[in-house]
Chain A
């Protein structure tokens, strides 16, 4: 291993400190025994216990999870189809316009998107609720899925699809049995991205939610305005833990897969 120069070492330390000190403080204070959130009062796990007795938080967490699952699935289906048509549909009339419009929500301010969806849902539904939040989240996460999937599709050898068609597969059959298995990693990434985006969205959810559909970010935000409760620290620590474990598993699995593939290819060439 190479030794870092003092300049690189300092830059690295500063960068990581900036990123992680707030989170470390949060995690440490979730184990604070004292009532005051800013003063250390000894180690304790009592806030975790209280968290699991707090109906309001648990309910909000459950709603958020359901919204995120539904959003991610819906957005993945729509985003994948949109990406497929934009990349493979050829140069049909109005293609550039469609492509631009698909990606517009990426740069649109959340507040504007939330407000316009609020107005639309006022006309469409008599009452806002979980359904409106899911629809709103699908609207803004779909374009992220579409971006991830189309970048994979662009690099995906088109002759595979031609070969399938040449061998007798219909267009739909080709998509299901050849295209989808090969772009699956991108589709899964897209799903995870939509899931996380939906999980931590506050702005759009605030505009489109209704009674009985308070998501976790909304709940936390409204609690914090009345002062930081130590339970929130505990909850955040759990979320950080889940995300860290998820990312670790995903990266270890994909690294192993790449290493296995390289070994296979070497062996194949050697045995030829």
Chain B
């Protein structure tokens, strides 16, 4: 007899209309002189979320975070924490702690005293401070470094001290400003999982600022993609990657092929005529698109199969010539020029050893993909 399926508990408070958000930005605008850093922004962040603010430098993500910490005041609008306006509350009175990009460890204090700094300034009784510091040292695996000064430990250890210090006061909200930027790639990957683990253990709400899209995808429950002080899209990592709402988001996250063409309506979707003589691309979409409207079609390289003959089970086919192959170990990227000169990237997992690869430079190949593989975008 089949076991009854357990419904997995999906963490998605943003889909529950009765859930009260922990943080609410209400029409927040921030100007520095003539420059508008944040432009009439409204956003809710929920309890226990790991929320990532993602965007290029100068997009306003750091300003948004500094407003949560209290280092900047909004020019217009309100910021609510647990339903209360926190704009008039100075940074040293907010139940919010921040982990700084430079770590900002106090160089004249030991690791122990760095972690205890905030506790000594809280209403925690003196005799409990030692215990709490010890707990933080255990959580970040720093027990043996308690007596060292910040310059006596390595970069990765410093990063953990900064995390322990900002978590010590058990803030309702922890802000992380590019927390892993200074670490090398291997250490960064390890630390990302450590961060997620700690976030789960402590149940704290994390808001992370990063320009590294891979990092945001790995750690976050939701990602806000920002540009010029505005939110372009707020969604789960999968939502952002698979269903971007604009060319900007599609292009910012991961690799993508953008093909422009004129739409023609068909049953359940559209046909995109992108080149004279080439078969149109069939794409399913919910968008209401008029005949002849100019649209962009975004498709990820891994959704396109490279083969010598068309794969008949897929709706879309295009012929072209391989002009370049990028070998990345676990996968190979094929750069193919279609008949109209359009360049398309397709990637295939290297399930077999390289010596038995099927295609090489200048080979004529066929690209195939389904009618749901790509996304139709109008902006």
Contact = CB atoms under 8 A, between A and B. Distances in A.
Interface in B186-224: none
Given A160-B106, A167-B97, A167-B166, 16 more contacts: A159-B100, A162-B91, A162-B98, A163-B100, A163-B106, A163-B165, A166-B69, A166-B91, A166-B92, A166-B96, A167-B169, A168-B122, A168-B169, A182-B107, A268-B152, A272-B153
A168 B118 contact: yes
A167 B91 CA distance: 8
A271 B148 CA distance: 13
Interface in B79-108: 90-93, 96-98, 100-102, 104, 106-108
Chain A binding surface, main DSSP class: helix
A165 B100 CA distance: 12
Contacts of B156: 272
Interface in A48-67: none
Given A160-B104, A162-B91, A178-B106, A268 B151 contact: yes
Contact of A162 (B100, B148, B166): B100
B104 A159 contact: yes
B100 A269 contact: no
B106 A269 contact: no
B35 interface: no
Interface in B148-179: 148-149, 151-157, 165-166, 169
Nearest to B116: A167
B117 interface: yes
A169 B114 CA distance: 13
11 contacts: A159-B102, A163-B98, A166-B69, A166-B70, A168-B121, A169-B117, A264-B152, A265-B152, A268-B157, A269-B154, A269-B155
Nearest to B66: A162
A163 B93 CA distance: 13
A9 B271 CA distance: 85
A182 B253 CA distance: 42
A167 B86 CA distance: 16
A188 interface: no
Chain B, interface residues (CB within 8 Å), range: 20 to 34
Nearest to A271: B154
B151 A169 contact: no
Interface residues of A, number: 24
Q: Which of A159, A264, A271 has the most C-beta atoms of chain B within 10 angstroms of its own C-beta? A: A159
Nearest to A174: B92
A5 B294 CA distance: 76
Interface string A153-178: 00001011011111111100100001
A167 B151 contact: no
Contacts of A160: 104, 106
A163 B108 CA distance: 14
Contact of B108 (A162, A169, A182, A272): A182
B102 A162 contact: no
Interface in A118-165: 157, 159-160, 162-165
A163 B90 CA distance: 13
A95 interface: no
A173 B121 CA distance: 10
B152 A181 contact: no
A166 B151 contact: no
B117 to A, nearest CB: 5
